Structure 1
């Protein structure tokens, strides 16, 4: 029931604003629990660690994900903001990353999805979080990036 309510509220502007504020808290809880508790279990969530494009330092971010076989699919929605999230620029600059899921670290390589592959992967993500449709409308000045994270 709580999951269904979150999926309904996810389309609301205030929910996206609250989500942006809660991400640092979610990141801290995920770090303390080694990725075992993320997003209160409302949606499938992983932790991605990328290498900062400018700093070269590790950067972590909780992300909703979908599965595509043994690949993880993530989206740079940035809650529908006008700019791409920093983690997606990091992944474009250095595709090697680490996913933490259920306390396990999995080295991955990120590939930006385009064309038909992007559309297919986007459908998988919309099953997990339908509000991505709303986020795309809000971020109408850009094409939201979709990545396939392939275990190495």
Structure 2
């Protein structure tokens, strides 16, 4: 489902339950959807690497000082999630945490910083460790800094 964002349509996740979560989050500024099964959730909007459309999804997140940290787990599948591939192609993202909205620049955590950030995120959401065991790919950790 698309919604206008400064004149440009935003396409929500093609996964029905995620799209429903996103719609509730947007409609209530995160009052409904700001947590997901007890874990803090945000909305990230990326630009589709092939379509050029703005694409929005809900994700569990952590904080590292003033940076937002995300995990491209895709539920432990063998492939990276589309939102991650999109931000690799275009690192300019929009973040919504509750009623707060800001622009950010996303990047994959460096080899040096990944272990510490991975530990941070497995403390935030322990299931990430299971997802890593379920796949042969190294699950990327993403750092978003305010633009």
- Whether TM exceeds 0.5 here: the answer is yes
The TM-score range, normalised by the shorter chain, is 0.7 to 0.9
2:28 maps to: 33
Q: Following superposition, which runs of at least 4 residues in structure 1 exceed 3 angstroms of deviation?
A: none
Q: Which moves more between the two structures, 22-31 or 127-136?
A: 22-31
How big is the shift at 1:40? 4.3
Indicate which of 129, 133, 138 corresponds to 2:129: 133
How big is the shift at 1:74? 0.1
Alpha-carbon contact 1:35-1:47 (below 8 Å) kept: no
| d(CA) in 2 for partners of 1:40, 1:139 | 23
2:86 maps to: 90
Aligned-residue CA RMSD (Å): 1.5
Structure 1, gaps ≥5 residues long:
1-19
Alpha-carbon contact 2:87-2:106 (below 8 Å) kept: yes
How big is the shift at 1:33? 1.8
Q: Quick one: higher RCO (CA 8 Å, sep 6+), 1 or 2?
A: 1
Secondary structure at 1:110's aligned position in 2? strand
Secondary structure at 1:27's aligned position in 2? helix
Higher-strand-fraction structure: 2
For residues 88-112 of structure 1, the C-alpha deviation after alignment (integer angstroms, 9 at most, x for no partner) is 0000000000100111111100011
Secondary structure at 1:115's aligned position in 2? coil
For residues 33-59 of structure 1, the C-alpha deviation after alignment (integer angstroms, 9 at most, x for no partner) is 233322446101110001111111110
Indicate which of 39, 42, 55 corresponds to 1:43: 39
Q: How many residues align?
A: 132
Taking structure 2 as the reference length, the TM-score comes to 0.84
Indicate which of 138, 144, 148 corresponds to 2:139: 144
2:17 maps to: 22
How big is the shift at 1:79? 0.8
